[in-house]
Amino acid sequence: MRLKKDTDSLSQYFEGRESFTTNDVYDFFSQTQPDIKKTTVNWRIYDLVRQGFLKRIGRGMYASGQGNCFLPLLTKKQKNISSRIKKQFPLITFCCWHTSALKEFFQHMAVYDFLLIEAERETIDAVFHFIKETNKNTFKEPSRDMMENFVFDGKDAVIVKSLISEAPLQDADSAIVPTIEKILVDLVADSEVFFFLQGHEILNIFESALGKYTVNTDRLLRYAKRRNKKEELQKILMQISGKNK
């Protein structure tokens, strides 16, 4: 009963706001319960998130509604390769995703299709040679020239790259794939691979992704910092925020 009352009141209180903080929620409850403890508010927020009435969009940041997590669909080839790597190298950390997952963020632009495999730096040589045994169009840490002259011209191309430590990953149908935050940062940081998606196209992707899915900005900026792209990502977020005002 209390939860229903809280959600109705919160919806009215924060109507029209894109986001709010834990302190904002505390201020809301303290209006009618001046002696309420912050620990009590934290538990209420936990309940509201668990029930889908609030969604976390960053550390101490929330928005109304249920979170919508981006989970890229796995291609048949992606499942097969992921399974083979897992069997051959059971102890390594790796992820894979196909660029076809980006197509939902475009309206008219074609996206080059290739599979990206990222593994711990000390294992990429072994993973590269293992994949190349059965897929000749496999490339390790390709330059822009290699992308243009070989990767794009080949069929069923696979790129093997180093996985940045503490990169945000998630499980998807028995495979490990990147989160939306990792993909967005990598599109900016890996300019040699994604050179065809720079400038205005990057803004379009970010705007579409932020509009469709719950993006944890703290996680995004933390990973961007590890890739020395935090300032650039902050500028992109500010540009999008300015366009939507």
The string of DSSP letters for the chain reads -HHHHHHHHHHHHTTT-S-EEHHHHHHHHHHH-TT--HHHHHHHHHHHHHTTSEEEEETTEEEES------PPPPHHHHHHHHHHHHH-TT--EEEEEGGGGGGG-SS------EEEEE-GGGHHHHHHHHHTT-SSEEES--HHHIIIIITTSSS-EEEEEPPTT--EEEETTEEEE-HHHHHHHHHH-TTTSGGG-THHHHHHHHHHHHHS---HHHHHHHHHHTT-HHHHHHHHHHHHHHT-
CATH (one of 1.20.1090.10, 3.20.20.70, 1.10.10.10, 3.40.50.970) for 2-64:
1.10.10.10
pLDDT tens digits in sequence order for the chain, 245 residues long: 455 566 778 878 888 787 888 899 889 889 888 898 888 888 888 777 766 678 777 778 888 776 678 888 888 889 999 999 999 999 999 999 999 889 888 765 666 889 999 999 999 999 999 999 999 999 999 999 999 998 988 778 999 999 999 999 998 877 899 999 999 999 999 999 998 887 788 888 998 888 788 888 888 999 999 999 999 999 998 888 765 54
What are the boundaries of each domain within the chain?
Answer: 2-64, 76-243
What's this model's pTM, rounded to 2 decimal places? 0.77
